[in-house]
Structure formats: structure tokens, C-alpha cells
Amino acid sequence: MRNIIGTPVEGEDFFDRPQIVANLLSELRDNQANILLIAPRRVGKTSLIKRVCEEWRKEQQSKAIYLNIEGGSDELAFADNLIDKLMRSNLYPEIMTLANSIIKNAQKLIGLKSIKYEGLEVDLGEASKDDLRTLGKVLESVFRKIDEGNDHVLIALDEVPELLLTLMRSDEIAGPKRVVAFLHWLRAMRQTYRHKIRWVFLGSIGLDNFASNHNIHYLINDFQIFSLDAFTPEEADEFLQKLGESYKGEITIDSADRTEIIRRVGWPLAYHLHLIFKELLYSKTLSVNEAFDSLLKPQYQLYFKPWSERIVAQFSKPDAEACNTILSHACQDPDGCDRRQFLAVLTTKPTADVKIIEEQILRLLNDLERDGYLIQKDSRYAFRSFLLREYWKRNHIL
């Protein structure tokens, strides 16, 4: 198992969590559920889903595709990416080739500004069949073909909220309508074509958080929730043992070292364990505590910066400012703060509406807890990751 940092891992580099993989496959196969994978950042969602796809393909007449739609500009780009992945899986070449041809032609037409673009209702111009004149109809014809066939198909969509945010911000009025139309269409496809097709949605921004913040939970309420957390202390210890065995002769990490690593990170995310291991591997002479402190040097901010950037990307400006205030105060004490302390610092302006801010705090604390920033201990909210807490303390102003 190699010490790979920052990218999804597959094959022998994946630290297997067999019971979690088995449970997820059981939900998909036996219970015929579509899955919304809920997990904080850097837990290893993508690596897990890629392993699930591998296991799914081992069954006869089973196909699985993984599709990262981060960076997709619109619904047409999503359709293009999806059809491309399905074609590479050798599923029904005739219908896939037809769909691909229509979508490619539409992209050219849109580039020439010759047709009006309205999301899934974009008119694709002349198509070889009357029911394939819009983007939605093209994709629906593909799902219909799969559902009537013999292959069981798993479609894993990663970073769905990223595309939704792009659509939302495309236009102040049309953007939210496009998001609702897109999610409504996806929901209709999940419910209409469910004999042979299963879906898994995941992302670094939780789709449940996105839906909650925009009051559109009804568009994803058909999903079965599947939660994934960081390693247990036992899993983290085994993970570090396997890494140590892979680099035998280059590094020695004994039981005491492993225990100290797990204690210092507090919340054993695979990503943070990889980072500590890297520091120990390359330095040779650092202690665990010195490796921990080394990661907090200014040159390593890239490892933690996405946590603060996600807040700006995910929330409105007032909510993002409130989140940063909450986190900047919570990081000052290992035991965190209670809601009264957050309320006190957020109601310093004479014009502050206490009731509205109380509601905002409750909502944001819920989001920050679900996304892995904070954990509630009795009445207090503290950072889950000790490493992230120290980063926040050193780089965010009260």
C-alpha cells in the first residue's frame, strides 16, 4: 500500500473496509436502493465508491461507471460525460453512438449560438427519431434501453453539488430554476428506470446540505442515506501498520508511535494519517509531535486551505462570515464553545436580530457538524480534527 496523498486510490493502494463495502453493496443489490453517501471531506468517499464499482463489476452482467462531474459547465456537458462513460463500458453501442452523435452536434450548434439553450429542454435540432429532440429525451432513451436489457448498471456520480452550484450561479433568476429542473429530472429517471439501474451520489459538498440550504429536499428524498466516517482507532492502527510494512527498511513506526499519531490527529482521517506518515518517512529524524507541528508550517497550507475555501463556495456571504466566526472561536479551546458564546459574538451589532441569528447558528452548526468541521460534545461544539483545529487557530483571525 503506497502512501498516496490527495487523490483517490484503487487496487492494492486501497485500505479495505470490507464490512462497509459489503453493507453498501447489499443496499444497492438486495434492497434495490439508490444511495446518497454522506461523509465529511477527506474521509475517502471516492476511493470507497471506486472499490464498490470494482466489486459490482465482478457479478455476471453487471456494469459500473464512476463519473466525476466537478468542473462541468452545464447539463449538456454532464450528458456528454455520462454517455462517454457508458460507451466505454460497451453498453448497447447502437443507442450510445446515436446519443453521442446527437449531443456532439448540439454542442457545435450551441457554440454557434444557433439554438436556444434551456438546460434539459434544449432543442437538439434534427434528430433521427422524433423522441430524441431534447437533451432530456436523449438521456431518457438511454436509460430506457438499459432498463429493458439484461445488464445491471451502477452509476456513481461524484461532486453533484459542484455542478448544481455552477448552474445556480449561472443566472440570478434562471439558475435556481435550472437546478430544480435538473434534480427533478434525475429523480424522475431514478424512479422510472429502476429495474436495472442503481445510483450513488457523493461529493465534497454534501448534497443533503445543498438541498437543505435551498429548501429542495423533496427532490432527493428517494435516496437511502449511507454514512461514512473516519477510521476507528483500530482501523487507523491497522492502516498505519500496513503503510509501515510497505516501507519496511525506510521507516519504523512501532505501536507507541501509532498510538501517538492517532492521539495527535484526534479524528483519524486517512488523508491526515497519510500526511503525518509522509513527514516521518521523509524526515527520518522527526518525532511524531515534530511531524505534527511541521505540517502546520506556512508552506503546507495547501493541505488544509480547501476546508476554508469550501465555506466560501458552499454558503452565501452572510452565512460564510458567520461560519468563519463560529470556527475562529471554536478553535481557541480544545473543548470548543457552546451556542451562547457563538450568539454573543454574532450579536455585537446594535441592529442584530437575536432570533434570526439564533436560527442561523442552529442551521450552520448542523452543516458544520455534518461536513466534519465540528462535533457536538454535550452542549459544546469542538473541532473534530485536532490538526485542522491547530491550522484554523494559526491562520484565522478572531
Compute how many other C-beta atoms are within 10 angstroms of the C-beta atom of residue 266.
20
170-200 in b/e form (b: 16+ CB < 10 A) is eeeeebbebbbbbbebbbebbeebbebbbbb
Give me the mean pLDDT over the 136-150 stretch: 92
Read off the pLDDT band of 115 (50, 70, 90). very low
Q: How far apart are CA 393 and CA 10, in angstroms?
A: 34
Q: Show the cell assigned to 147.
A: 432498463
pLDDT tens digits, one per residue of 170-225: 888 888 999 999 999 999 999 999 999 999 999 877 888 889 888 999 999 999 99
230-262 in b/e form (b: 16+ CB < 10 A) is bbeeebbbebbeebbeebeeebebeeebbebbb
Instruction: Determine the 3-state secondary structure of 180 from DSSP.
Output: helix
Paired with 197 in beta bridges are 153
Read off the pLDDT band of 259 (50, 70, 90). very high
For 303-395, CATH gives: 1.10.10.10
Read off the pLDDT band of 351 (50, 70, 90). confident
Taken in order 211, 213, 216, 221, is the CA torsion positive or negative? positive
Predicted confidence (pLDDT) at residue 33 exceeds the cutoff of 50: yes
Residue 296 has φ and ψ, to the nearest 5°, of -95, 5
pLDDT of residue 279: 94
**Domain 11-98+135-227 listed as CATH 3.40.50.980:** no
For the chain, the domains span 11-98+135-227, 233-295, 303-395
The pTM assigned to this predicted structure is 0.89
Cβ atoms of 143 and 155 closer than 8 Å? no
Read off the pLDDT band of 114 (50, 70, 90). very low
Q: How far apart are CA 132 and CA 106, in angstroms?
A: 12
Nearest C-alpha neighbor of 106 from the set 132, 88, 130, 129: 132
pLDDT of residue 284: 80
Predicted confidence (pLDDT) at residue 128 exceeds the cutoff of 80: no
